[in-house]
Structure 1
Amino acid sequence: MNWADRQLGGVLGSRKAAIFTQGRMHPEYTNSYFEHMTGNVLLAARMKAEGLKQHELADALNQRIASFTGRLGTLQDRHVRNWLTGKTKWPHARQRRALEEEFGCTAVELGFRRPQPRQAAHRQASVEESVKRRQFATSAGAISAVAALPGTASASTPRIGMTDVYRFESAFYQIVAADNARGGGVRLETRALSFAKLVTDVQANSTASQRVRQRLYYLAAAFTGSALWAAIEDQEPERANQHLDRATRLAGLSGNPDIQLRIWGHASMLATQTGNFSESLAACEAAKASPLCRRDPLYRSLTASRLASSQARMGERTQARRSLAVAAQAFEQADQQTSRAPWVAFYDRSELEGLSGLAMSDLGRHDQAEAHFHRALAHLRPDYERNRKYYTSHLALSQIRQGDVELAYTTASSVFPTHDEAPLTGRQRKLLTKFSHALATHAKDTDMAASWAERYADERNRHR
């Protein structure tokens, strides 16, 4: 049993097979952000999200170069391959401009790194430059660049302290806020991975106290966990599996139970997404055993509400109802003013109602599920657009499963984004696909079904 499996109590099983083939890392993840490896996992993730092969990206970039130079570019697939493997860390200026226009982000956000100063004696300056150059934007606004590191402990090695930790934490808070508001996806995933890599690099090239090092492990796990969640929401289980291994190891090194609890929750959702319901249940049970759940009723409520759905999917109906009762009671006991980790801020009464609705849906009680989803939407914070679309989609499914076809159609139609809104996430598109199948069954050959099919096709084409 490998290290990650031992940390997960042997429940989740080995994830390495998805990453390694015949003893070598899968080419899509070759030289990723793992320690002691180099390369460009961020560019690889962007290319996969856009469905671009190496020669296709080269052709697209050559056209972009022609648009601003008047001459077709000369990029070939070997150039793209050199970027992906890390052989070329900083493309030429025209290539960088074409890349930035193609993907709509900076070269740094695509995983490229400026050449470091050649004077090895000024190691701290290169670390500071590495920190300063990394600026990341959320759709709500810019994430401020992490400030320069403090003075060195010696002539060659910088020393970092809690002030620097707080700067990284500020970036993590903003990533969490962006996810809560609009949901995950490849942009948020790559941004979180970039910060995880940055934290790891800073720790590897600096001296620090044990307290600071443990907090840096926590932050590396937190950023990687955000990337894990973004991949789950984008319906990319292969990438999510990779992030899970890394996040689990970092969470264990941090010694912090709250980040371990968060990773357990993501592991459960990933197992559900891949159809491994027994593994999902086991992950929820492990989260339930966390010392945080014994000490804090809010964490106990969250884990119990997630456990209920896993139990329902496994046919444990009585246990599922009991878990829902525990979740509701613990939520009422929780002190909402208690200071907690930023990632758990999403769990409020709206989320309790939403998770309860999911459990009732898994139990086949669609009337009760509908009531929970209505309450979830009524209590939802105005800026939580991701959850509004997510629970509205589930509300429509609960309505059509009760035979209320016209009402369900109206409800589901409100989920489609307007032209100035971001496209739906992978999870949201999957829910609309389920609704499409249900509508085709209940309203076949009707004007309503035809209208829905047209809007659904437009949204799918928009995503492409």
Structure 2
Amino acid sequence: MTGNPLLAARMERAGLKQAELADSVNRRIGTRTGKLGTTTDRHVRNWLTGKTRWPQVRQRLALEEEFSATAQELGFIPPAPRTRAPSEDPVRRRTFTNGAASLTAGALIPAPSSGTNRVGMIDADRLERNFSDLVRQDNQDGAGLRMETRALAHARHALELQDVGRASARVRARLYYLAAAFTGTALWAAVEAQETDRAKLHLNEAMTLAGMAGSSEMQMRLWGHAALLSFQQQHLPKAQAAAEAGRRAYVCRQDALFRSLASARLAGILSAVDGCNSHAQRALANAHKAYQQADLSEERPTWLSFFDKAELNGLSALVMARLGRYDESEAYLHQALTQLRPEYRRNRTYYSVHLALAQLAQGEVEEAVATAKPLVPTRGEPPLSGRTSGLLRKFDRGLHRLAPGNPSAVEWADRYAEGELEQ
């Protein structure tokens, strides 16, 4: 469930709690109208959860003044033209606790270097360490709304640092790079949650920042996310074009590991395009060849740390499944799960669901249920991401069609229904 991470990020950056923002909005309304406003923390909570998508005009003006941003930049959505009000809120709601939405900036975001009006590499280094922490958290537990919010807050800080004081061209380029990196992480979190509208906004912003940084490497990362986003929307020609753009990035000519990842992503898209089976297999073969050529001891950006032999085998499994070669997909998945680093819990769950689907496609009902059943979250466990949850629903539907009366299928149905009730 999701709300308004753009507003939450601004609040987090400013260190504002819900009640504090309400008070500030009321003061600004009072300055404008001569009468103190009546905004409460409940109004702010409704803005954060998405329950209120377009605040009243006095509140909007106060918010725009508070954050020096337009209402749309704060994540609000104006009503459709000639429509009084939408009958259904398309933004799915999330209950935001004060603790989650009002984390102080000092706890998460480094302050600029004190005692000087010059912004230097030491400021960028602090941000880079925070970016590395976010990447590690994503690899271990997966992205969520809180990570999306934190990433956006850091991206904003990277841009605000350039207004603090003087900075060399080299420092400015690095700050733009970091802003693109953080926005790319927010993009990934939205893609994982299958929140396509927000993901598109993050993609456009991140691409602009990566271009300003002049970073082929960051653009290659973003093209990969763009391909997955279009694939989720079933826009296969656009997904293919994005994956091909990533493969053409200059960094892929310079570094075989980047080339391997880009080729594997392209193979994944091509395997879903009619008439491109041979092209998909060729791209996948190129991915494995490039991986063998890569010097794995070289230092590379933190965001690429997830891409190892386990991930390549996992991506290969997805290609084989889309080509209908489920036995080969299962073999790749067993390799991936054996090689996967223990701390990569998110990917372990994701590829385990794919393993269950590959086993089910081969009619191995008991094995598939044994693989899938432990993946259903129990009480107190965090919910699965949008992508992984969708795969489990696909497994549930496929099992019901294939073996509705099978004892293992009945056992699965009970466990799955129990897990759904607990979420």
Alignment correspondent of 1:402: 362
Deviation of 1:328 after TM superposition, in Å, equals: 0.8
Match of 2:391 among 431, 437, 443: 431
Q: Give TM-score, length-normalised by structure 1.
A: 0.72
Find the partner of 1:133 among 96, 105, 110: 105
Instruction: Count the aligned residue pairs.
Output: 357
Report the alpha carbon displacement of residue 147 of structure 1 after superposing the two structures with TM. 4.2
Q: Residue 234 of structure 2 aligns to which amino acid in structure 1?
A: G
For normalisation by structure 2, the TM-score amounts to 0.78
Task: Name the SS for the 1:381 alignment partner.
Answer: coil
Show the 5 A alignment for 1:265-304: 265-304=224-263
Match of 2:167, SS?
Answer: coil
**Do residues 442 (structure 1) and 402 (structure 2) align?**
yes
Q: Which residue number in structure 1 is paired with residue 168 of structure 2? A: 209
Q: Check 1:44–1:460 CA distance in 2 against 1; reply closer, same or farther (3 A cut).
A: farther
Please say if residues 165 and 215 of structure 1, whose CA atoms lie closer than 8 Å, have aligned partners that are also in contact: yes
1:149 and 2:113 correspond: yes
Residues 423, 462 of structure 1: 8 Å contact kept: no
The alpha-carbon deviation at position 149 of structure 1 amounts to: 1.9
Contact 1:150–1:160 (8 Å) recurs in 2: no
Give the drift of 1:460. 2.9
Give 1:44 deviation, angstroms. Answer: 11
Is residue 68 of structure 2 the alignment partner of residue 108 of structure 1? no
Cα pair 2:330 2:359 within 8 Å, conserved: yes
1:224-275 deviation line (CA, Å, top 9, x unaligned): 0000000110111111111111111001100011111110110001011111
Code of the aligned partner of 1:251? A
The amino acid that maps onto 1:150 is S
Q: Identify the residue that residue 187 of structure 2 maps to in structure 1.
A: 228
- Residue 272 of structure 2: which of 295, 313, 319 is its match? 313
Q: Which residue matches 1:196?
A: 155
Q: Percent identity?
A: 42
Whether the 8 Å contact between 1:151 and 1:159 is mirrored in structure 2 is no
Matching of residue 87 in structure 1 with residue 46 in structure 2: no
Which structure 1 residue ranges, 5 or more long, are not aligned?
A: 1-27, 34-39, 46-57, 59-72, 91-100, 110-131, 137-144, 153-157
Please give the per-residue CA displacement for 1:7-29, whole angstroms capped at 9, x wherever unaligned.
xxxxxxxxxxxxxxxxxxxxx87
Partner Cα distance (1:363, 1:340) in 2: 32
Taking the aligned partners of 1:300 and 1:331, their CA distance within structure 2 comes to 8
Identify if the C-alpha distance between structure 1 residues 86 and 330 changes in structure 2 by more than 3 Å, giving closer, same or farther.
farther
The equivalent of 2:308 in structure 1 is: 348
Contact 2:379–2:422 at 8 Å: present in 1 too? no
Distance in 1 between residues matched to 2:115 and 2:419, nearest whole Å: 52
Q: Which structure 2 residue ranges, 5 or more long, are not aligned?
A: 13-21, 23-38, 48-54, 68-94
- Deviation of 1:440 (Å): 0.4
C-alpha distance 220-451 of structure 1, shift in aligned 2 (>3 A): same
For residue 326 of structure 1, what is the aligned residue in structure 2?
Answer: 286
- What are the Cα deviations for residues 192-215 of structure 1, in whole angstroms up to 9, with x where unaligned? 111111112222333211100010
Distance 2:232 2:260 in 1: 22
Shift of 1:148: 4.0
Q: Partners of 2:212 and 2:255 in 1: how far apart?
A: 23
Q: Secondary structure at the match of 1:253?
A: helix
8 Å Cα contact 2:263-2:284 kept in structure 1 = yes
RMSD: 2.7
